[in-house]
Amino acid sequence: MSRLIVVSNRVAPITEGEPTAGGLAAGVMDALRQKGGRWFGWSGQVVPDMVTPPLPVVEQRSGSISLYTTDLNQRDYDTYYRGFANGTLWPIFHYQTELARFDWADFEGYRRVNGRFAEAISAFMTPEDVVWVHDYHLLCLAKALRQRGARNRIGLFLHTPFPAPAVMMNVPAHAELLAAMCQYDLIGFQTESDRLAFADYVLREMGGEARADGVLAVGGRAIRTGVYPIGVHVDMLRAEAEAAADSPQMQALRASLNGRALVMSVDRLDYSKGLPQRFAAYERFLAENAGWHRQVEFAQIAVPSRSDVQAYQEIRRQLEGEAGRINGRFAELDWTPLRYLNRSFARRDLMPLYAAAAVGLVTPLRDGMNLVAKEFVAAQDPVDPGVLILSRFAGAARELDAALLVNPHDEQAMAAALAQALAMPLQERRERHAAMMAVMRRNSLERWRDRFENDLRTPAALESVA
């Protein structure tokens, strides 16, 4: 079978003997390990502009896998990563049009870096290789590879949502961007509504045609589209939760909770995750349910990310203010209702925390999938499971419909869901948990990876487009 080349903005570090942390990294690493392959991406390092491209590509080997990384210079980082990818596409793809900024110079930088990646990949790619590209940073990569003569099968998996055409069209470069996406052979989405939004654009704005099996014909090309909800390693997560259930950290937590119910949230600190709305809902819950005072604590773990993008600095300030205000309003000398932690946790410490929580509060305004929701369910003890409150606007809500589904803009409904979750009888908790586990076992991480890879290797015939 032909070799697999994976391309993503960042490459996960290989940590010998340790399972890889996040969903994307774990799924990709497994795929590469099984068949051998290569993974290309940015090293995470930014070098001064006087270091001029092409920047060197560093190869690191681990068994059958080769990792290739390259640095970015400051100008490329500012325009491609901070500018167009995270200042324009991320907010637009999450329907936050007010937060999106656009500058043609950023788009130019985005195209340039996609071109540089293509240049570097061309140096080791053979005509038989199959290329699996990840996420919104690299929408123009297939086009850049084709401009360099590549006729390989190239697929894109989009981890984020894809917005409705009317929202996408806020980006002045939308036509060029979508035309570039149509140079992929396969585009995978987390949910059917993301896939339909993309198809809608291709049909209405580009004069494409759709076939029942998800193939789109446009500009003389056949593009396969499909839905591949990303999953988690359910059994491994539960094992991790059990293994550390009595760690010193967990003993300390239990002692400090002193029998109070724990409500848990874990996110990257991102405006798409709905944290201000969540804090407001918790405040309302406390205001309306005096009986729960001293009986409950809400722990929000939020790891700072993209902190050099202005919108991220603003949301961080806002949350610090809100956390202080809510505690100021309700706290007692022996009770802190909201614990706000601005740091990352190792996964082996996170899973027992999830398991110890009575409620997982996962309420993004928009999310491609949201793996925290799946990790929370997987980590629970099936005999006495916690309750998941989940935003309807997370991709995960399609599968995890046995959660308490909420609209994150509906403060009243979220406060009511908290009260319902905290009081939910054991039998109902077990039933909801079992239903969610059954779906997650079906849509495993292996299945996500295998289905995408198989479809990528299977060409879609243009002739049969009706």
Could you list the active site residues? Answer: 159, 367
Q: How far is the CB of 239 from ligand ADQ (least distance, A)?
A: 16
Strands of 130-134's sheet in order across? 57-62, 65-73, 37-47, 4-10, 130-134, 153-157, 186-189, 221-227, 215-218, 209-210
Residue 28: how many other CB atoms lie within 10 Å: 25
Between CA 178 and CA 207 the distance in angstroms is 12
Binding mask 100-139 for ligand ADQ (x = CB under 6 A): ----------------------------------------
Q: Is 91 in the site for ligand ADQ (CB under 6 A)?
A: no
Q: Is 370 in the site for ligand ADQ (CB under 6 A)?
A: yes
Among 35, 75, 174, 268, binds ligand ADQ (CB under 6 A): 268
Among 71, 375, 411, 455, binds ligand ADQ (CB under 6 A): 375
Q: Is 367 in the site for ligand ADQ (CB under 6 A)?
A: yes
Between CA 358 and CA 237 the distance in angstroms is 17
Alpha helices in 7-103 (DSSP H): 23-35, 74-76, 90-93
Closer CB to ligand ADQ, residue 216 or residue 365?
365
Q: How far is the CB of 221 from ligand ADQ (least distance, A)?
A: 26
Among 145, 309, 369, 416, binds ligand ADQ (CB under 6 A): 369
Closer CB to ligand ADQ, residue 266 or residue 281?
266
Q: Which residue do the tokens 């299945």 mark?
A: 447
| DSSP structure string for 281-312 | HHHHHHHH-GGGTTTEEEEEEEEE-STTSHHH
Q: Is 350 in the site for ligand ADQ (CB under 6 A)?
A: yes
Q: Is the dihedral of CA 178, 182, 183, 185 positive or negative?
A: positive
Q: Is 344 in the site for ligand ADQ (CB under 6 A)?
A: yes
Among 22, 36, 207, 324, binds ligand ADQ (CB under 6 A): 22
Between CA 280 and CA 298 the distance in angstroms is 12
Residue 106, amino acid: D
Binding mask 142-161 for ligand ADQ (x = CB under 6 A): -----------------xx-
Q: Is 266 in the site for ligand ADQ (CB under 6 A)?
A: yes
The DSSP element (H or E) to which 9 belongs, if any, is strand 4-10
Q: How many amino acids of this chain bind ligand ADQ (CB under 6 A)?
A: 21
Among 85, 120, 357, 372, binds ligand ADQ (CB under 6 A): 372
- Residue 163 preceded by cis peptide, ω within 30: no
Q: Left (φ > 0), alpha (ψ -120 to 50) or beta: where does 306 sit? A: left
Q: How far is the CB of 338 from ligand ADQ (least distance, A)?
A: 16
Residues that bind ligand ADQ (CB under 6 A): 22-24, 159-160, 230, 266-268, 301, 303, 344-345, 350, 367-372, 375
